[in-house]
Chains A and B, each alone.
Chain A
Amino acid sequence: MSPKKAKKKAADGAGSNVFSMFEQAQIQEFKEAFTIMDQNRDGFIDKSDLRDTFAALGRLNVGQDELDEMLKEASGPINFTVFLTMFGEKLKGADPEETILNAFKVFDPEGTGALKKDYVTEMLTTQADRFSPEEMEAMFVAFPPDVAGNLDYKNLVYVITHGEEKDAE
């Protein structure tokens, strides 16, 4: 759904309607995620919390710029109802391992399984939902390239996907 449509829905003041879009159990789940992110327990999450929140819910494909635009339209601080209204309908499933691998493979047409650190940096920090330098650095700290500067992306994808599975048990 495009941002415009979402804006319209929000403007309709669909406060009560949004709760009927979901099952009770789902809403409880979202509420919990929202509450976890609302660190000071004041019922509102700020911009940085927001990104983490719906990303943590794991099922959202909203771009950074899009998010910023939407936030500009939100009339006030984001409480749970606003959150659901604006983003609830965008929930999706998680990307399987293969999808991510294929995404990396786009940059590795020969299928070597590794990418140059500098190339990865350029690829992720200069386009689309740009990584900040700090984010890039954090990724390389967690998944260090070898001495030649190669990042083993297959391992990275594997560790994250399987690590997440393991932790969810």
Chain B
Amino acid sequence: MGCGTSVATETQVMKLEADEAVKAPSPALTMKAAVLIQRWYRRYMARLEMRRRYTWNIFQSIEYAGEQDQLQLSSFFSFMLDNFTQLNENGPDLISQLLDPVVDPWLERETCYNLISVPETYTGPRISFPLSVSDTSILLSAFKEQQILHARYVLQLLYETKKLLKQMPNITHFSTSYTKEITICGDLHGRLDDLLLIFYKNGLPSAETPYVFNGDFVDRGKKSVEVVILLFAYLLLYPDYMHLNRGNHEDHIMNLRYGFTKEVMQKYKTHGREILQLFQDVFSLLPIATVIDGKILIVHGGISDQTDLDFLSCIERRKVKSALRFPRRSLEQLDISQSCKHGKRMRSTDSSRPNSSRSYKSQGTPNPRKKRCRLNRQDSAASSSSSSSSSSSSSLCSPQTPSCLSPRPLPSTPSMPHGVLNVPFLDSMSSIPLPSPPQHEQEWKQIVDILWSDPKTQEGCNPNTFRGGGCYFGPDITQRLLVQHGLQLIIRSHECKQEGYELCHGGKVITIFSASNYYEEGSNRGAYIKLGRELVPRFYQYQVSRTTRRLTLTQRVRAAEGSALRALKEKLFAHRSELVAGFQQYDQTGTGSVSVSEWAQVLETVLRLDLPWRTLRPHLAHLAPDGCVEYQSCFENVGPGVSLPQVTPNLAETLFRYRTDIEIIFNIIDKDHSGLISIEEFRHTWRLFSAHLGVAIDDRAIDDLARSIDFNKDGSIDFTEFLEAFRVVHKLDNKDSQLQEKMGKGRYS
């Protein structure tokens, strides 16, 4: 038919025939024409699909790469905490409070929130405890009106939630015998609109409409506070019908980077710290799993080959405050008091009663409280962790893990007076091998596996290096766990899916994701599951749409693609020095160009993003006449927002790359939220940060920089302004359309 003939011939033939058969085309011609049209159109749709898919890849890769950067930040914080002597004498500093709070006795007292009065002038929602349906309605309407709940109520709500959660077991058991159907939702990530849409479509939580929310309520979205308040409020109202699982973002260190901490601080300027402290406790008290009818397991991330639900039922979940802080083992011998505290926390047992009142009669699963499992687990866990080699060592590649370390010689640091930072190198300090009880490690690992793992198609179980925590688990791992515990299905979240949900492992694992438009407007739908007594899941999808005008598929793909490409270009810019160095290795003669393969190779190596570089090339760089890539063209259309003072490229790039992290650090140091920090603080922090990153930054360069941005010479830096200078700007945004067209069209071949 049309396979072998050339297009040109076909065109000619068709033209001829078309000219001749003006009124009545022959059937053969008709068919040919139809075929052409069909193929051409299908090809167009396929290309669109391909663009959509690589756009998705870009977003995901950058997201996960960002999470890996997060590990840098968290280990930095750990280091700061462990080595930070106070910058000033005004009480325990925020960092230690944020990262590793002593249980503040002040917060435990019943009346702490009573000390905060709600002024008459407050126009936001007022609620009273114990909560009633009218309170939750008030909250719903208030949040729809963009109102903010007063700090006093937030604290009281959190306090009540904490009390309630303490009585709950690690694994909640729920039965469908008493209700018609249960609804299961996935990640919300601070998207209030999605939550409201779910409530609208599916009904508010109640005895007739029980819910399970599977973690990741906060971070990334702008309304994390409102989302989580609503969820906790309903939890308090209907503790038997509202079930919350912990997600990997219910973690104060993740919150530092992904927006929740910032949101709280912005909305609650006076009481933000206390609120965050309570959130930290509450998050660590959230149950880690829900089991329905003894048949369906619901966890946020997934499982590993070491996951043991019986073991998980017994541990003290609240001890694992953050997945990103490996069980504290650093400097214990240097700080006796801290180690005493640490030891005390370990020995203390939660006075949690058997939770028979909390859950329905579980079918077949032994009551975890009765089992004297801890002692046994310790032995088997210890032996299994030492014997199992590489299969699932999900250490977060943190420098504190012994296996990752190569001890470096301690630099000679002059002894500093009290009130000034010590700056030893992170690795050398942590290379001191410290004993850590296997029990503690095992607990931490089991929880991290539950919160961070992802399913994969191939069999087996290996560490999830993409994310930096948990495992990739194969269908055999799933099968083994299901059989071991008499289960039939695992429902998890943790990964954004185009349709809001996805099945894998032969239908035995379902991913459910409830934040629509997660990466970009139109990027994906959200979904929830409804489960009746027959335990057959039904999926309901939705998409929150801010624009009333319906975009065509092409427009949506184009918009998302544009957004992804911008993010990618920023990444290129932020790694400019490294990339250029890489290119120059292939371009010894200095022609300014390398082959497409070499170009792709360098990008892959430096950025460590597994993306289809050749397909993306037309968007990122342009070709010389001989078909080689002119590599400097990668960095053409992005640049700093403000012309920088004498800043070395090295420093500039570091600032671009870690802008978010630096912002977080500044926000923490800026205790009074004035937007200003002292030059001293700036210098110390910066030195510390760059030491940690291993970036060789001249002290003088930092001082120069500090002085140059202290515009009014009063010794303090407006760090918001400072950071603005290091926001990457896309130059084409500001040009007028004419210029844009001139620059855009025909630029890249």
Instruction: Give chain A's interface residues, CB within 8 Å of chain B.
Output: 1-3, 24-25, 28-29, 32-33, 35-37, 39-42, 51-53, 55-56, 58, 61-63, 66, 90, 92-96, 98-100, 102-107, 109, 123-124, 127-131, 135, 138-139, 141-142, 160, 163-164, 166-169
Contacts and interface: CB of A to CB of B under 8 A. Distances in A.
A75 to B, nearest CB: 21
A98 B40 CA distance: 12
Given A36-B57, A58-B47, A164-B44, A103 B552 contact: no
A66 B24 CA distance: 29
Contacts of B418: none
Contacts of A135: 42, 45
Given A51-B46, A95-B7, A95-B40, A167 B558 contact: yes
Given A36-B615, A62-B3, A66-B1, A131 B49 contact: no
Interface of B: 1-4, 6-7, 10-11, 14-15, 18, 21-25, 29-47, 49-51, 53-54, 57, 457-458, 504, 552-554, 558, 561, 595-597, 600, 612-615, 618-619, 744-748
A124 B614 contact: no
A14 to B, nearest CB: 18
B3 A2 contact: yes
B47 A123 contact: no
Given A128-B38, A131-B38, A160-B44, A167 B51 contact: yes
B18 A102 contact: yes
A103 B36 contact: yes
Nearest to A24: B597
B42 to A, nearest CB: 5
A153 to B, nearest CB: 9
Contacts of B458: 42
Given A66-B3, A102-B14, A61 B596 contact: no
A41 B61 CA distance: 14
Contacts of B25: 106-107, 109
Nearest to A29: B614
Contacts of B33: 102-104, 106-107
A72 to B, nearest CB: 17
Contacts of A166: 745
Contact of B615 (A32, A39, A164): A32
B566 to A, nearest CB: 15
11 contacts: A32-B613, A39-B53, A42-B457, A55-B43, A63-B2, A63-B3, A102-B11, A105-B18, A127-B30, A142-B554, A164-B47
Contacts of A35: 612
A106 B615 contact: no
Nearest to A167: B558
Nearest to B15: A102
B57 A109 contact: no
A33 B266 CA distance: 45
Contact of A61 (B2, B21, B552, B597): B2
A51 B50 CA distance: 12
A105 B745 CA distance: 30
Contacts of B37: 100, 103-104, 124
A33 B50 contact: yes
Contacts of B553: 142
A92 B43 contact: no
Nearest to A143: B552
Nearest to B42: A55
A80 B104 CA distance: 60
A100 B6 CA distance: 15
**Counting chain B CB atoms within 10 Å of each CB, which of A61, A96, A166 scores highest?**
A61
Nearest to A53: B46
A17 B30 CA distance: 39
The 7 A-B pairs of least Cβ separation, nearest first, read: A55-B46, A106-B33, A32-B612, A103-B33, A103-B36, A56-B46, A128-B35
B43 A28 contact: no
Contacts of A98: 11
A100 to B, nearest CB: 5
Contacts of B22: 109
A37 B18 CA distance: 38
A90 B50 contact: no
B49 A56 contact: yes
Contacts of A66: 1, 3
A95 B507 CA distance: 41
A52 B43 CA distance: 7
B34 A123 contact: yes
Contacts of B24: 109
A58 B45 CA distance: 11
B30 A123 contact: yes
Contacts of B40: 95, 100, 103, 160
B511 to A, nearest CB: 12
Contacts of B618: 168-169
Contacts of A163: 554
Contacts of A33: 50, 612, 615
A131 B11 CA distance: 22
Contacts of A96: 11
Given A36-B53, A95-B36, A139-B41, A169 B46 contact: no
Nearest to A166: B745
Contacts of A37: 50, 53
B614 A32 contact: yes
Contacts of B558: 167
A163 B48 CA distance: 11
Contacts of A138: 45
Contacts of B11: 96, 98-99, 102
- B50, B458, B596 interface centre (most CB from chain A within 10 Å): B50
Contacts of B34: 103, 123-124, 127-129
A29 B553 CA distance: 25
A99 B35 CA distance: 12
B46 A61 contact: no
A41 B44 CA distance: 24
Given A24-B597, A109-B25, A142-B554, A169 B50 contact: no
A52 B746 CA distance: 28
B457 A28 contact: no
B599 to A, nearest CB: 11
B43 A1 contact: no
Contact of B3 (A58, A61, A102, A129): A61
Given A1-B3, A102-B11, A127 B612 contact: no
Nearest to A120: B37
A36 B3 contact: no
Nearest to B49: A52
A167 B554 CA distance: 10
B621 to A, nearest CB: 12
Contacts of A128: 31, 34-35, 38
B15 A129 contact: no
Contacts of B32: 103, 106
Contacts of B2: 61, 63
Given A107-B33, A129-B35, A160-B44, A169 B747 contact: yes
Nearest to B47: A56
Contacts of B44: 160, 164
B465 to A, nearest CB: 15
